[in-house]
Amino acid sequence: MSDSKSHIAHALCAQSASLFQRGLTGGSSGNISARLGDGRFLVTPTGMSLGALAPDDLSVLAADGTHIDGPAPTKEWPLHDAFYATRVQTGAVVHLHSTYATALSVLADVDAGNVLTPITPYAIMRLGKVALLPFFLPGDAAMGDAVRALAGKHAAVLLANHGPVVSSPTLAAAVDAMEEFEEAAKLLVLTNGMKRRLLTGAQVVALVARYNVEWDT
């Protein structure tokens, strides 16, 4: 394993274990991928817990997505591949079934164009607008098609009745953004049905301008 590949593999396993230990994913759910400098990908394998991965457990995919080494990759690789294909800046993708984001995904009144109602500035700064995608059977390649249809305009999506997906330029940034996603969803679920004081449109515009947030208006 090359130094670059080894470094990213160890980081991916450490981040996976951290997410599992803090209850952001359970059982063998969730999947993570990272792009290597040579264009190949390291991907968490199918059917294994994120809490117990070693570098040799990771799948290695060629730049075109062909499986070339290690165990079989997550069945939701097409979802990851769609982000890499439509957002050239993507260096890592994290998909979890975290409790509050998944709870948000089952609510009937969320805004499909921006599921994270602007309750704090941080989700806006780290995620931009998060689109809600329809329900798909787990592993359905149509999830990837739905992400491709967004034409790279969203760094993160929420799969209805399933869970969140986040892409970022680096693995660390993707994990940070996923954690912010879960915290924002938690606030929204806990205050659901209450009278909220949300950020105003002007405050959102100011955040977007100051922090150079992707915000398709």
76 is catalytic: yes
Give pLDDT tens digits for 158-210.
999 999 999 999 999 999 999 999 999 999 999 999 999 999 999 999 999 99
User: What is the arithmetic mean of pLDDT over 86-105?
Assistant: 98
- pLDDT attached to residue 1: 45
Which of 76, 179, 180, 182 is catalytic? The answer is 76
pTM for the complete prediction? 0.96
DSSP assignment of 97-158 equals --HHHHHHHT-TT--TT--S-SSSHHHHHHH-SEEEEPP--TT-THHHHHHHTTTT--SEEE
Query: Do the Cβ atoms of 143 and 74 come closer than 8 Å?
Result: no
Which of 84, 100, 122, 182 is catalytic? The answer is 122
Which domains, and CATH codes, for the chain?
3-210 (3.40.225.10)
Above pLDDT 70, what percent of the chain? 98
Q: What is the mean pLDDT of the chain?
A: 96
DSSP 8-state symbol, 71: S
- pLDDT attached to residue 216: 75
214 is catalytic: no
